[in-house]
Structure 1
Amino acid sequence: MKLLNPFRKVYSTQEKEIFDFFKNVKLFERLTEKEMEEFLPFLHLREYKQNEAIFFRNDPSQALYVIKSGTVELNLDHQDSFETLATAKKGVAIGINALVENSERVYNAVVRSKEALLYIIPQVNILEIFKYKISIQAKMMTSLAELYDENTKNLFNSYRRHIGLFHLGEAYMKTFQSE
């Protein structure tokens, strides 16, 4: 028979629902409930309307967004048009570079469904948690690295299928190239 720990934290139904939701979000999948609890005071739920911009390319990355419901288009502006990069839905984190200090948005995010509910976690709070909870930072940065690794693989696979459409050397590993 398993004995219950009388000192164990008991979470409310609402907190458990939030934890269950965030367990399915790539950036949070490695975190325990106790670790996820650190984010609760900073978690904001906001409703967006169709065609409302969540953020624009080159904006400072001041928050992480997680889609609770609805559809968000991630696009890139080029001259007078927009190219859709992806359509994100429930359980997808967008603006993931908010985990990186002093970063800027690399794409635009616009709501395409009639409405969308997004959890918002300000970057300042994320970085504060990282400062004092190194294990949380390590787990989330590992997940971020996996996302970037997958994106890099997808970029290279696409490039191999469409060689010549752009100069890969200009796009990849610029930080390692001498000037």
Structure 2
Amino acid sequence: MTRGHGTGLLLRRITKSHFNGTEADRKMATLLYVYLGLSESFPNYTLLDHANAFEAAQICYPAEMSIFIANLPNRAYGDLALLNSVLAEFSQYGKCFGVVRRNVNPKTGMIRPYVILQYTRLDHARMACQQIFRQYWHGTFIGGRKLRIFQAQAPRSIFVTRKDSVMLST
């Protein structure tokens, strides 16, 4: 169980075997209501709004409904513009929430952005992967770069910390 940031709600991270779509949708609606300013219109979100919505979606929906998007442009886009471009492309397959992360190549020092999207339905995540894969041969581009997309394959880890952020031993 985890406590939502400032929400007073105790939240349980779910696994695929315990997933209930109706219950997850109800929890997600509650969390979006708690984070004021989150509406259906993602282009109006700030980066903090996106992060809060993504965190709520990660709590409510299993990792199997997540996809990883790489080979994104690094220079021409800020994080908010990049995320809005990705969401505009991928929300056509179903309701999703996203966050931009960046990796640093230790050999070259190059910073590469990637996006993780959390869908609310497994079939939507699979359809996005299949459609983008089909389009890849003809070119699915954002900022002049062909996208690479993968469905999540690793289970999430849960880290338990104290309020002062000290890791607890297991």
TM-score in terms of structure 2 length: 0.31
Q: Which has the larger radius of gyration?
A: 1
Higher strand share: 1
